[in-house]
Structure 1
Amino acid sequence: MNREKTAIEAGGVMLVRSSNARGRARVTHAVVVVFLEFFAWGLLTTPMLTVLHETFPQHMFLMNGLVQGVKGFLSFLSAPLIGALSDVWGRKSLLLLTVFFTCAPIPFMRINPWLYFALISVSGIFAVTFSVIFAYVADITEEHERSTAYGLVSATFAASLVTSPAIGAYLSANYGDSLVVLVATVIAVIDIGFVFFVVPESLPDKMRLTSWGFPISWEQADPFVSLRRVGKDTTVLLICVTVFLSYLPEAGQYSSFFLYLKQVIDFSPAAIAAFIAMVGILSIVAQTLLLSVFMRTIGNKNTVLLGLGFQILQLVWYGLGSAPWMMWAAGTVAAMSSITFPAISTLVSRSASADQQGVVQGMITGIRGLCNGLGPALYGFIFFMFNVELNDVRPAGGRAESFQTSFVPGPPFLFGAFAALSALFVAVFLPEHRPADIKSGSAHKPASPPQGAGPLATPTSDPEDIEPLLQDSSM
């Protein structure tokens, strides 16, 4: 009898979550993990710009885009597998892997810069912390609580960037980059230890690998199969296209914007840190207080549309602005656009059953990973094509060597605005309420899939059918 139960569990049929386990796992655990990981990386904002210039003195935008592009493409390839495995092995073990490998490149910034950038590229295989975190949150929250919880997690990302770049810039100026890297490494180790020793499993009765065979199929882990199956449901297709078009410019912007502020707009390291802090604080307000108000008053779909509208305005302003004050003004709009991600995440998570949240998160994270590959490379290429490049760091007391200007100071941002506008047009056709039949074609959701079918029982409830996003932020 026990063997039969084990076999059924390995097949992905049984997933029992006790109320006691749900009481132990808290959204607070997810918040702390996200905060520590991105606080460590935020400290490296100023040293990263220096190392990038020293390692690639020619074509910094282009090389930065290629490095981030490889990382993003690897995330796209691995996200469905990691998402599916988190439904089988549980969230904690996969969270430990993603946090460890995402933070692994940090100490190599001072040890060997070339190895550092190589490790950043390879770390894309596990750079999907948000997909596991969102599945973790979905495990321990009810549907009506989810938008608030997702907003809190996304706001934590912004909160981690409020002070860390400024602290990193201060330490770098007064004590050198080596100390900054050391502090970031220590915080990363603390984060890994927190996951290992403190974070409880949100799926206490999770299915495990046994001698009965591998519990998921390679088809479920194939990102290209995921993309093909997206078209089987119109609503899923609309969500995925919206995610792709809206996150493509965000990923490109995130990879190059601070370098753009320093090299083109002439921001000092202190000004960059202050800019990040301002946008971070406003993003926290937008993703906590304002998000819940918008969700209650104008609904889930209209909140997504509003966030996309702010994103379009922000990108146009970045693209046409050439003065520092314009960047500061556009930054306030960028903070408002941060409501898009948790709003989409809430919309999508409602369509996934309790035992498929990791698979669902993995699919959309895979699409975002694809954007993380295409966006930075595309932005770097557009900067290169328009001769927006600096080969010399600004001399003391003066402006850096001027670049060949064009009528549009930031061409990639205008491209991004067009992509976000396209996302807005697609999102108009999204339904306000996601029916329960998104996976099965009927309002009835089966209590359990057929034995041996794996975490996703039917073709309509595949990892390729739905999934929320992460955000990561446009910083």
Structure 2
Amino acid sequence: MVGVVVIGRASDRHGRKPFLLLSYAALILPVVGLLVGLNHISLTLYYVGMLLAAVAGNSTMGPLALCTACLADAAAGDDAFRLWMYSMVGGLIMLGIALWPMVGRLSNLLFGRAGFAFLCAAIGIIEILYIFFVIPETNSALQGGSTNKDDDGERRAPRNSSEIGKDSYIHMFGRIFSARTMTLVTACVVVCLTDIQRDGSAGVELLYLQQIVDFAPKDISLTMFMSGILGFLVNLLVLPRAIKRGWMNGERMIYSGLLGLVVFQIGMAFTNSKVMAFCLLPLQAVPCSWFPAGLSAILSRYFGSDKIGHALGVLQSFTSLCGCIGPVVIGSLFAYTSLRGHGGITFLAAGIVSSVSFLVAVAMFSLIEYKRLVTGPDSDLTEPLAEASTGNAWTEVDAMNSRIYEAQKMGPIPVD
């Protein structure tokens, strides 16, 4: 939880590539520990590797946050393409969920019980080599030497003109807040409401189906395969057209993901047949990829290359925290209700919480956009009103814009 925030902020200041290498190298450590443990009948090194991986970015959370930050940097001028790339990250994760059980089974049959661990280690090494030799540094704040300074030492405008409008403000609850701060807080609240019950219900849903509709292991494998393939194909084939035609943006992807989760969880509460379960389980493919992609897209709208890594790290840290708390809370509730033959109450409660998360997301993101004081590149407010008395001209422009906004709220001066 802490490591992903640290490496996210560090990548803003020192570049994405070094910390991408660090995160992917850390992912190999548990695999190496597992290989050694299989030969020496001890898993001590495996747990040590897991601990070191957590320090370097909390297992997969660190690489995920940094990859998303790289996409935000590389596609900063094309919001539609960037949104699709965010969703494809989730789609590829779903594809991995679908294929890796079969790949693991095949590798173990061919190379023994350590075959899958050897395969993971080999893929990790290939990823590190690919990052080192192929992927360039994407953080625009570090390209060309000094960060945000001209040759004469004066502070310059952001390299990407779209970043000028990221420091906008909103008037809410009688006070003025930074739009980026309110957006990050809202995203974290929505993540907490969603992921605590989503991660928890995911841990008990298959056990619930085994109790209610007699799901066999082959049925579980089939539904995982169907969900993964469906999630990948929807992101690959359907979503690009929806984005191109203007049907999808960051907010709508969040809303669609949450609605899919609500339908799935409430439907699970009343599941009484295998056919209904097979129809419901693939619905997880939508919230698993669209919900985080939409949140990343909204954060990219307000955070530039010098802050997006930190923002994504904070968001991923809350996701990690919910992944720890959710199974305990939802698992305890399911254990209590299933013993009395009412396990569906757990999913009904999760669906209600998801509905609350949906309402909070709609209300807050709409309010932020409605109340936001526009200071984008097409606004006159981005132009300096006077020569700056210090070297930090852009800070003075923001301060002047805030004073103008305060004067506009006061209204015209009465004339006697």
Query: Structure 2-normalised TM-score?
Result: 0.69
Q: Secondary structure at the match of 2:366?
A: coil
Corresponding residue for residue 358 of structure 2: 424
**Equivalent residue runs for 1:26-425 within 5 Å:** 75=1, 77-109=2-34, 111=37, 112-113=42-43, 116=46, 119-120=49-50, 123-125=53-55, 126-127=57-58, 128-141=62-75, 142=77, 143-172=79-108, 176-203=112-139, 206=142, 233-254=181-202, 269-295=217-243, 296-300=245-249, 301-321=251-271, 323-337=273-287, 338-386=289-337, 404=339, 406-409=341-344, 412-425=346-359
Offset at residue 277 of structure 1 (A):
2.0
Deviations 1:106-144 (A, max 9, x none): 344461346545644663331321111111001110234
More off after superposition, 334-343 vs 439-448: 439-448
Offset at residue 283 of structure 1 (A):
0.7
Structure 1 residues 88 and 353: alpha-carbon distance in aligned structure 2, compared to 1, 3 A threshold: same
**Equivalent residue runs for 1:5-20 within 5 Å:** none
Structure 1 residues 312 and 159: alpha-carbon distance in aligned structure 2, compared to 1, 3 A threshold: same
Deviations 1:56-77 (A, max 9, x none): xxxxxxxxxxxxxxxxxxx2x2
Structure 1 residues 115 and 417: alpha-carbon distance in aligned structure 2, compared to 1, 3 A threshold: farther
Q: Which of 1 and 2 has greater Rg?
A: 2
In the alignment, is the contact (CA less than 8 A) between 2:5 and 2:314 conserved in 1?
Answer: yes
- Aligned counterparts of 2:356 and 2:248: Cα–Cα separation in 1: 21
Q: Secondary structure at the match of 1:321?
A: coil
Structure 1 residues 408 and 254: alpha-carbon distance in aligned structure 2, compared to 1, 3 A threshold: closer
- Aligned counterparts of 1:179 and 1:263: Cα–Cα separation in 2: 33
Structure 1 residues 299 and 144: alpha-carbon distance in aligned structure 2, compared to 1, 3 A threshold: closer
Offset at residue 347 of structure 1 (A):
1.9
CA RMSD of aligned residues (A): 4.1
Gaps of 5+ in 2: 147-176, 393-397, 400-416
Deviations 1:216-273 (A, max 9, x none): xxxxxxxxxxxxx999954443333222212222333455656766798765554433
- Of structures 1 and 2, the one scoring higher in RCO (CA 8 A, sep 6+) is 1
In the alignment, is the contact (CA less than 8 A) between 1:165 and 1:276 conserved in 2?
Answer: no
- Aligned counterparts of 1:359 and 1:130: Cα–Cα separation in 2: 13
Structure 1 residues 183 and 299: alpha-carbon distance in aligned structure 2, compared to 1, 3 A threshold: closer
- Aligned counterparts of 2:30 and 2:44: Cα–Cα separation in 1: 11
Query: Structure 1-normalised TM-score?
Result: 0.61
Give the letter aligned to residue 350 of structure 1: R
- Aligned counterparts of 2:34 and 2:121: Cα–Cα separation in 1: 10
- Aligned counterparts of 1:104 and 1:267: Cα–Cα separation in 2: 36
- Aligned counterparts of 1:371 and 1:343: Cα–Cα separation in 2: 18
Q: Give the count of matched residue pairs.
A: 345
Deviations 1:41-86 (A, max 9, x none): xxxxxxxxxxxxxxxxxxxxxxxxxxxxxxxxxx2x2332211101
Structure 1 residues 274 and 107: alpha-carbon distance in aligned structure 2, compared to 1, 3 A threshold: farther
Structure 1 residues 172 and 424: alpha-carbon distance in aligned structure 2, compared to 1, 3 A threshold: same
- Aligned counterparts of 1:367 and 1:230: Cα–Cα separation in 2: 21
Offset at residue 333 of structure 1 (A):
1.4
Structure 1 residues 171 and 102: alpha-carbon distance in aligned structure 2, compared to 1, 3 A threshold: closer
- Aligned counterparts of 1:342 and 1:293: Cα–Cα separation in 2: 16
Gaps of 5+ in 1: 1-74, 210-228, 389-403, 453-457, 460-475
